[in-house]
Chains A and B, each alone.
Chain A
Amino acid sequence: MLLLPFAGSLCAAFLPSNARNREAWLAGAITLACTIFIAFQYPAVADGGVIRATWQWAPQLGLSVQLRLDGFAWLFALLISGIGTLVVMYARYYMSPADPVPRFFSFLLAFMGAMLGVVLSGNLVQMIVFWELTSFTSFMLIAYWYHLQVARRGALMALAVTAAGGLCLLAGVLMIGQVVGSYQLDDVLAAGEIIRAHRWYPAILVLVLLGAFTKSAQTPFHFWLPHAMSAPTPVSAYLHSATMVKAGVFLLARLWPVLSGTDLWFTLVCGAGLITLLLGAASALFQRDLKGILAYSTISHLGLITLLLGMNSPLALIAAVFHMMNHATFKATLFMAAGVVDHETGTRDLWRLGGLARVMPLTALLATVAAAAMAGVPLLNGFLSKEMFFAESIFAGQSMLVRVLLPTAATVAGMLSVAYSLRLVRQTFFGPLSTDLPRAPHEPIRWMLLPGALLVATCLLVGILPAVTIGPVLQTAAISLLHGQLPEYSLKLWHGFTLPLGMSVVALIGGALTYAWLRKREARTATNATRWRLLDGRHLFNVMMVAMIRSADRAVRSAYSRRLQPQLLVILAGTAALAYGIATRTPIRASSMPLTPPSASFALLWIVGAVCAISAAILAKFQRLAALILAGGAGLVVVLTFAWLSAPDLALTQLSVEVVTLVLLLLALRWMPRRVANLAYPHTPLTIRLRRARDLLLATVCGAGMATLAWLIMLRPSSSRIAPFFLDNALPLGGGHNVVNVILVDFRGFDTLGEITVVGVVAITVYKLLRRFRPAPESMTPKQLRSVEPVSTNTPDLNAVLPSGVMRVPAVLGRLLLPVAAVISVFFLLRGHNAPGGGFVGGLVLATAFIVQYMVSGTLWLESRMRIHPQYWISGGLLCAGGAGIAAWFVKRNFLTSLEWDAHLPMLGSVHLSSTLVFDLGVYLLVVGATTLILVALAHQSLRGHLQEAAS
C-alpha cells in the first residue's frame, strides 16, 4: 500500500505533459485506493489492535523496515489519503492547462507516499527517512512554479528550516536508540520511564522538539510557512492542512507517552505552543493576502495543538488529536476556497476583494461555514475542540500564575481567531462588490467545489453529532496512544453552563468587537501592518543565510588556492609530514637480511642516471630538448636496472614506453612557447629565491625520505606470502612459465582488463581534446623554419615512391623495419606466457613501427596508402579481452577463468591453446591502437596547422 503512491509517482512522471485528465485519473485512482484500503483496516485497529509487517533490512544494526498501523496511525493515514484524494480532484480543475502537470502529480503522489511512510513507520530511523523525504518532496512542490523567484525562495526556506530540524530529530532519535537499545517504535513506547529518567533526557527532548517545531512551524521557526504560500493552492491546501505541518505534531503525539510528563516538557512545549498561538493569531489579523491569513491562522492552530500536547494530561492529548482532524478539514476547505477566489478573480488581496457572495454564492457558503468552524462557532467541529481546549486550559497548571495565564491567553487567542475569521469572510464575500478585479468572477464548475463541500459536510456532521461520527474513531486513536488507559471524556455539544462555555461566548463577542474596532482603525489609517514585520523571521533567516555563505566563502578563500603550486606544495609537505609521523612511531627492527653484493658498474650506471635526472631538473625550464633527452637517459638507466635485477618484462616494457614517450614529448615540444632566460634582470628577486629555496628543501626532504624508506624496506626480509603462491601455481593453474605474465593475464586478469580500458579511454579522450585544439598563434610556424624554406614546399608529392631530399634513405630503412617489427611484436606476444614478452611489449613495438612510418614518410603520404584506424584496434582489443573472459561463462566457470585446450593437429603435432592468449591478444591490439591514436592525433595537429596556414 505504501509503495502505491511512489509507483504512481513514477508513472505520473512519464506521462506526456498535456495529459491533464489522465494524470488526474491516475492520481485520483491511487489516492482513492489508498483511502479505501486504509478505511477497511479499521476493524483490525478499532480496539487497540496493531497491524505490523516487517522486512529485515540491516539486522546487525537493529534496522528493519517495519510498517505499524495502530489506531492513531490509522486516523492519520486516513486523513492523509482522504484529503489527498480531494486535493487531487481539486487540482485537476485548478491547474492551468499550460502547467506541466506530470511534475505536479508526480511530486504530490510522492509526497503523499512519504507522509504515509512517516505515520506508518514502526521504526524510528525509517520514519526519519520518510520525514526527510517529505521535506524534499514538499520543496519540489513549493517550488513548482520555479520561474517565480518568490516560489524558489519560499521553497528554499522551507527546505532549509525543515531539513535542519530533520537533522536535529535524527540526532535525537539516535540518542533514543542508544538509550533504549532499539529503534523499534514498540520498544521505544514501552521504555518511556527509562528515557525520562536518563541523563540524556533533556538533550533528547530538545532535539526531538527542534525537529517537530521546525516541521510544524512553531515560533521561532514559523517564518517558513507563510513564504511557502507561493506554492500552487492545492499544494498549500494539502501541505498546510493535513500533512506536512501535521507531521511535527504527529511526532509529538506519537512520542507523547515517551517524552511527556515532565516539567521540562510542559515548559518547552506549552511555551512554544502558547507563543505561536498568540503570535500567529495576531499576525493573521493584519494580513492583506487571503492565503497569508490562512497561513498565519495555520501557525496559530498548530500552536494550539502544541499547547494542548504540552499540558501533560491525557484529556488534552485527546483534544489535540481531535483538533488535528478538525483543523485539517476546515483549513483544507478554506485553502480550496481561497484558491477558487484567486482562480476566478485573479487576486488574493483582501483590500480589493469584496462582495463575492453575490456572484459566487456556493463558494461563499462553503468558506463561511469553514471559517465559522475555525472561529469555533457552535454546531461545528471547531467549537467542540475549542471547548475542550478551554476546559483543559483551566485545569492544566499547578501554579497560580499558569492557572490565570493559560485561560486568559486561551480566551484572547479565541477572540483573535474569531476576529480574523470574520475579517476573512467579511472582506472577501460580503460588503459592496468590488469593481476593479483583474477578472470578472463567477462560480467555478461544480467539481471544483465538491471536495470543499464534502469537507464542510464533515465539519457539520462532526459538529452536530460528535458522539456518533467521530467518537469511536477518536477513541481508537486515543487507546492506541495511551495504551488503553482512557480517561473519562464526553463529546457533547451541550455540557451545561460551564466555564468553557462562558469563555467561548466571551471569545465570540470579543472577537466580533475586535474586528469592528480594527475595521475602524484600518479605514482610518489604511496602513499596512509593517510593525509585524519585526516579528517576521524571514529577515533573520536571510541575515543568517548571508552570514553563513559569507563565512563559508571566507573559509574557502583562506584555506584554498586556485593556483596549482601551493596545492602541490601542501600535498607534498603534508604527505612528507605524515610519513615522518608514522615512521617515528614504528619501531625499526634490526635485520639479518643478507644484502646483495654491490657492483661497481651498477654504481657507475646510477651515477650517470643521477646526473641525467639532476640535469633534466635544472634544464627543464629553458633547454627543453636537452631536458627531454636527459630524462630519457634516466629512464634508460631505469630500464637497465630492471634488466639487471631480474625483471626482464619490466625492462622490455619500460624500454618501449620510453620510446613512445619520447616521441610524444617531442611532438608536444612544438606547441610550447619560446622561452629564453631573462637577461635583463640578472638578479633574481628575493621572493623567488626564497621560494626556490623552500621548494629545494622540500624536494630534498622528500627524496631523503623516500631513500630512507626504500633502504629500510630492503633491509628486512620479505614476508610476502603471495609471491610463493604465484610462483608455485603459475604453471599448474595458469599454464605459463613467465609468472609476471601469468599474473597479468590470468590471476589478476580483471585488473588488466580495467587497465587496458583506462588506456583506451585516455586515447579517445586525447583524440577528442585535440579535435578542438586551437594552437597559440606564434607557434603556428616557427621563425627558423620559415626562413629556411617556404611553407608551400612542405606539401609532399603523394605519388612519389620515396620522399625526396634528406629523408630518402631513412624512408627505405624505415619501411624495411615495418615487417620485421611486426614479426618481432607477434613473437613477443606469443611467447609472452612462457618467456619475457607479452601483449604490452608486443603492442608497443608494433606501435613504434607505425610511428616510424609516419616519421619517415610524412603523414599525408602514409595516410594516402595505409589507413591504420586505431579506433578499430582499440575496440577490437577490448572485445577480444572481454570475449576471452566471457568465454569462461559458457563452460560454467567464473569470468576470466583461463580455459585450456590441448589439441593434436595433423602435421603440426600437439598444440597447447589457452584463452589467456586471446586475452593477451586483446591487450596487444588495444595497446597498438591507443598508442597510435594518441601519437597520430598529436602529429595531425602540425599538419592541420600547415593546412590552415596554406589556406590563409
Chain B
Amino acid sequence: MEAIIALAIGILTACGVWLLLRPRTFQVVIGLSLLSYAVNLFIFSTGRLRVDQPPIVGDAAVNAAQLADPVPQSLVLTAIVIGFATTALLLVVMIAVRGTTGTDHVDGQENEP
C-alpha cells in the first residue's frame, strides 16, 4: 500500500510539475490541480495509512494508536476547500487576462515560437 501511494504521489507530482512549466494557462490550471492532489495525498500520508479505522471515537475509551491520525486529515480537508477557491481565482484571472491581452499565454504575450 505504502509503495503504491508513494508512486501515485510521484506520478501526480511529475504530471503537475510538467504542466506548470507549460506556456498555456489552461495547462497551468490543470497542472496545479494535479499538483494539489499530490500534495494533499502527501500530507495525508504523513499520518500513516490505516484501513477501516476512521478517526471516529465511540463512547467507550479507545486505543488512540489504533485509529487513523485525524490531524493531517483536517489539514487536508481545509486544503481541499481552499484549493477550490484559489483555482477559481486563478481561472478567473486567467480568462480576464485572455480577454484583455487576446492570448492564453501565461505571460500575456506570445513568445518566440
- Residues of A whose CB lies within 8 Å of any CB of B are 562-565, 568-569, 572, 593, 595-599, 602-603, 606, 609-610, 613-614, 616-617, 620-621, 624, 627-628, 631, 634-635, 637-638, 641-642, 644-650, 653-654, 657, 660-661, 664-665, 668-669, 671-673, 675, 685, 688, 695-696, 698-700, 702-711, 713-715, 717-718, 720, 722-724, 726-728, 730-731, 737-740, 743-744, 748, 751-752, 755, 758-759, 762-763, 765-766, 769-770, 772-776, 834-836, 840, 927, 930-931, 934, 938
Given A653-B77, A710-B42, A738-B56, are A720 and B69 neighbors across the interface (CB < 8 Å)? yes
Task: Report whether over half of chain B's contact residues are helix, strand or loop; otherwise say mixed.
Answer: helix
Instruction: Check if A598 sits within 8 Å of B56, measured CB to CB.
Output: no
Instruction: Check if B4 sits within 8 Å of A706, measured CB to CB.
Output: no
Given A628-B30, A638-B37, are A610 and B77 neighbors across the interface (CB < 8 Å)? no
Instruction: Check if B89 sits within 8 Å of A635, measured CB to CB.
Output: no
- Out of B18, B55, B100, B103, name the residue touching A673 (CB < 8 Å): B103
Given A617-B18, A645-B50, are A668 and B77 neighbors across the interface (CB < 8 Å)? no
For the complex, give the distance between the alpha carbons of A846 and B107 in Å: 37
Q: Which residues of A contact B38 (CB under 8 A)?
A: 706
Given A621-B24, A648-B54, are A773 and B71 neighbors across the interface (CB < 8 Å)? no
- Residues of B whose CB lies within 8 Å of any CB of A are 1-15, 17-24, 26-27, 29-31, 33-34, 37-38, 40-42, 44-59, 62, 64-65, 67-71, 73-74, 76-78, 80-89, 91-96, 98-100, 102-104, 106-107, 111, 113
Q: Which residues of B contact A668 (CB under 8 A)?
A: 91-92, 94-95
For the complex, give the distance between the alpha carbons of A722 and B75 in Å: 13
- Out of A621, A647, A770, name the residue touching B27 (CB < 8 Å): A621
Q: Which residues of B contact A660 (CB under 8 A)?
A: 84
Instruction: Check if B13 sits within 8 Å of A702, measured CB to CB.
Output: yes
- Out of B19, B67, B74, B89, name the residue touching A744 (CB < 8 Å): B74
Q: Which residues of A contact B69 (CB under 8 A)?
A: 718, 720, 723
Task: Report whether over half of chain A's contact residues are helix, strand or loop; otherwise say mixed.
Answer: helix
A207 to chain B, nearest CB (A): 46
Q: Which residues of B contact A696 (CB under 8 A)?
A: 18
- Out of A569, A710, A751, name the residue touching B5 (CB < 8 Å): A710
Instruction: Check if A613 sits within 8 Å of B21, measured CB to CB.
Output: no
Instruction: Check if B99 sits within 8 Å of A727, measured CB to CB.
Output: no
Q: Which residues of A contact B40 (CB under 8 A)?
A: 638, 654
Q: Which residues of A contact B73 (CB under 8 A)?
A: 647, 649-650, 740
Instruction: Check if B52 sits within 8 Å of A646, measured CB to CB.
Output: yes
Q: Which residues of A contact B80 (CB under 8 A)?
A: 650, 653-654, 657
Given contact pairs A706-B9, A722-B71, enumerate 13 new A-B contacts (beta carbons under 8 Å): A572-B17, A596-B1, A609-B11, A634-B12, A641-B41, A646-B50, A653-B81, A668-B91, A695-B21, A703-B10, A703-B17, A737-B56, A774-B99
Considering only CB atoms, which chain B residue lies closest to A617 in the complex? B15
B21 to chain A, nearest CB (A): 4
Instruction: Check if A744 sits within 8 Å of B77, measured CB to CB.
Output: yes
Instruction: Check if B4 sits within 8 Å of A603, measured CB to CB.
Output: yes
Given A762-B89, A840-B81, are A572 and B7 neighbors across the interface (CB < 8 Å)? no
Instruction: Check if B92 sits within 8 Å of A706, measured CB to CB.
Output: no
Q: Which residues of A contact B3 (CB under 8 A)?
A: 598, 711
Q: Which residues of B contact A593 (CB under 8 A)?
A: 48
For the complex, give the distance between the alpha carbons of A724 and B61 in Å: 12
Q: Which residues of A contact B99 (CB under 8 A)?
A: 671, 773-776
Considering only CB atoms, which chain B residue lies closest to A937 in the complex? B92
Q: Give 6 closest A-B pairs by Cβ, nearest first.
A: A707-B10, A703-B14, A699-B18, A711-B6, A646-B68, A617-B15
Q: Give 12 CB contacts A-B under 8 Å.
A: A609-B11, A613-B34, A617-B19, A617-B34, A645-B49, A653-B77, A698-B17, A717-B48, A726-B70, A731-B57, A762-B85, A763-B88
Instruction: Check if B59 sits within 8 Å of A635, measured CB to CB.
Output: no
Given A706-B42, A755-B78, are A562 and B107 neighbors across the interface (CB < 8 Å)? yes
Instruction: Check if B23 sits within 8 Å of A565, measured CB to CB.
Output: yes
A866 to chain B, nearest CB (A): 23
For the complex, give the distance between the alpha carbons of A528 and B21 in Å: 64
For the complex, give the distance between the alpha carbons of A567 and B94 in Å: 18
Q: Which residues of B contact A835 (CB under 8 A)?
A: 56
Given A650-B44, A774-B99, are A762 and B4 neighbors across the interface (CB < 8 Å)? no
Q: Which residues of A contact B45 (CB under 8 A)?
A: 710, 713-714
Considering only CB atoms, which chain A residue lies closest to B27 in the complex? A620
Given A599-B1, A644-B51, A646-B52, are A726 and B19 neighbors across the interface (CB < 8 Å)? no
Considering only CB atoms, which chain B residue lies closest to A681 in the complex? B113
Q: Which residues of B contact A603 (CB under 8 A)?
A: 4
B82 to chain A, nearest CB (A): 6
Q: Which residues of A contact B104 (CB under 8 A)?
A: 672-673, 675
For the complex, give the distance between the alpha carbons of A657 and B76 in Å: 13
Q: Which residues of A contact B7 (CB under 8 A)?
A: 606, 610, 707
For the complex, give the distance between the alpha carbons of A927 and B22 in Å: 32
Given A773-B95, A773-B96, are A568 and B88 neighbors across the interface (CB < 8 Å)? no
Q: Which residues of B contact A620 (CB under 8 A)?
A: 19, 22, 24, 26-27, 30-31
For the complex, give the distance between the alpha carbons of A641 and B44 in Å: 10
Instruction: Check if B21 sits within 8 Å of A699, measured CB to CB.
Output: yes
For the complex, give the distance between the alpha carbons of A569 and B23 in Å: 12
Q: Which residues of A contact B19 (CB under 8 A)?
A: 616-617, 620
Q: Which residues of A contact B103 (CB under 8 A)?
A: 673
Q: Which residues of B contact A598 (CB under 8 A)?
A: 1, 3-4
For the complex, give the distance between the alpha carbons of A390 and B88 in Å: 80
Instruction: Check if A695 sits within 8 Å of B18, measured CB to CB.
Output: yes
For the complex, give the distance between the alpha carbons of A613 and B51 in Å: 25
Given A572-B17, A740-B74, A769-B96, are A714 and B2 neighbors across the interface (CB < 8 Å)? yes
For the complex, give the distance between the alpha carbons of A713 and B9 in Å: 13
For the complex, give the distance between the alpha carbons of A641 and B49 in Å: 10
Instruction: Check if A671 sits within 8 Å of B57, measured CB to CB.
Output: no
Instruction: Check if A751 sits within 8 Å of B78, measured CB to CB.
Output: yes
Considering only CB atoms, which chain B residue lies closest to A614 in the complex? B15
Instruction: Check if B41 sits within 8 Å of A638, measured CB to CB.
Output: yes
Instruction: Check if B57 sits within 8 Å of A617, measured CB to CB.
Output: no
Q: Which residues of A contact B81 (CB under 8 A)?
A: 653, 657, 755, 759, 840, 927
Q: Which residues of B contact A766 (CB under 8 A)?
A: 88-89, 92
Instruction: Check if A569 sits within 8 Å of B34, measured CB to CB.
Output: no
Q: Which residues of A contact B91 (CB under 8 A)?
A: 664-665, 668, 938
For the complex, give the distance between the alpha carbons of A758 and B82 in Å: 8
For the complex, give the distance between the alpha carbons of A738 and B54 in Å: 9
For the complex, give the distance between the alpha carbons of A660 and B88 in Å: 10
For the complex, give the distance between the alpha carbons of A657 and B2 in Å: 25
Instruction: Check if B30 sits within 8 Å of A631, measured CB to CB.
Output: yes
Instruction: Check if B17 sits within 8 Å of A727, measured CB to CB.
Output: no
Considering only CB atoms, which chain A residue lies closest to B84 in the complex? A657
Instruction: Check if B93 sits within 8 Å of A641, measured CB to CB.
Output: no
For the complex, give the distance between the alpha carbons of A702 and B53 in Å: 32
For the complex, give the distance between the alpha carbons of A595 and B48 in Å: 10
Q: Which residues of A contact B82 (CB under 8 A)?
A: 755, 758-759
Given A613-B15, A624-B26, A645-B50, are A597 and B77 neighbors across the interface (CB < 8 Å)? no
B29 to chain A, nearest CB (A): 7
Q: Which residues of A contact B77 (CB under 8 A)?
A: 649-650, 653, 740, 744, 840
B63 to chain A, nearest CB (A): 9
Instruction: Check if B52 sits within 8 Å of A563, measured CB to CB.
Output: no
